[in-house]
Amino acid sequence: DGGITQSPKYLFRKEGQNVTLSCEQNLNHDAMYWYRQDPGQGLRLIYYSQIVNDFQKGDIAEGYSVSREKKESFPLTVTSAQKNPTAFYLCASSMAGNEQFFGPGTRLTVL
Amino acid sequence: AQSVTQPDIHITVSEGASLELRCNYSYGATPYLFWYVQSPGQGLQLLLKYFSGDTLVQGIKGFEAEFKRSQSSFNLRKPSVHWSDAAEYFCAVESLSANQAGTALIFGKGTTLSVSS
């Protein structure tokens, strides 16, 4: 089945740690996205990538980093510079000009 | 700048009753508009989309939405709600800001739908 997978489903981070969230798609989509969701805030764009080896900052990129070395993979690293990382993180992908398909999400909690 | 407003944070509807969720957008051109649904702890599922053409669009699960340019609205409707429709609903518009790609989305803050028996 084609789709988007995110792992892990739940992730716990200690203060000062970097953590990496995985996002993989087998839809052959060119574009991939990372969103952050907080209660009552909707989804906010962190980073996006239109093609391999290229990515752009979204509205809330500070404290996050990404890479796009392969078309099917777009991992997100939450660095220690992100002061309030506890949130639900959603990865999405799309073909240009079409709707986005979302993964099941990763819930990150800072201990 | 583009923006999406969902005026209702929480709506409760009786099972079998009709539903309308409101969405207003701010956009400088003809927008691409979307409605997504999210169950607790899950990802988002696309209900329907408007790109162009007929302003009344049909989606999955019996939902429809009407694009009204004069009112900058894209309200979601369903004639008879089922208990399984209880979820959070997000309206979204394509972003064309300088910092975002043509297919990045701007989301409203969501409307939580509860269904009473």
Q: How confident is the model at residue B66 (pLDDT cuts 50, 70, 90)?
A: very high
Of B29, B40, B49, nearest in space to B92 by CA: B49
Closest chain A C-alpha to B40 CA, distance in angstroms: 11
Is B34's Cβ below 8 Å from some Cβ in A? yes
Q: Cβ distance B8 to B21 under 8 Å? A: yes
Q: pLDDT at position B103, please?
A: 61
Is A48 in contact with B104 (Cβ distance < 8 A)?
yes
β-pairing verdict for B87-94 and B33-38: antiparallel
Q: Cβ distance B33 to B74 under 8 Å? A: yes
In the predicted structure, residue B100 carries a pLDDT above the cut 50: no
Q: pLDDT at position B99, please?
A: 42
Is A85's Cβ below 8 Å from some Cβ in B? no
Give the pLDDT means over successive 10-residue stretches in chain A (111 positions).
Answer: 90 91 95 93 92 92 97 96 93 86 95 85
Mean pLDDT of B53-72: 94
For B61, phi then psi, to 5°, come to 60, 25
Is B41 in contact with A105 (Cβ distance < 8 A)?
yes
A50/B12 Cα distance (integer angstroms): 39
Mean pLDDT of B17-34: 90
Q: How confident is the model at residue B102 (pLDDT cuts 50, 70, 90)?
A: very low
Q: Which of B103, B107, B109, B111 to substitute to test the interface with A, most A CBs within 10 Å? A: B103
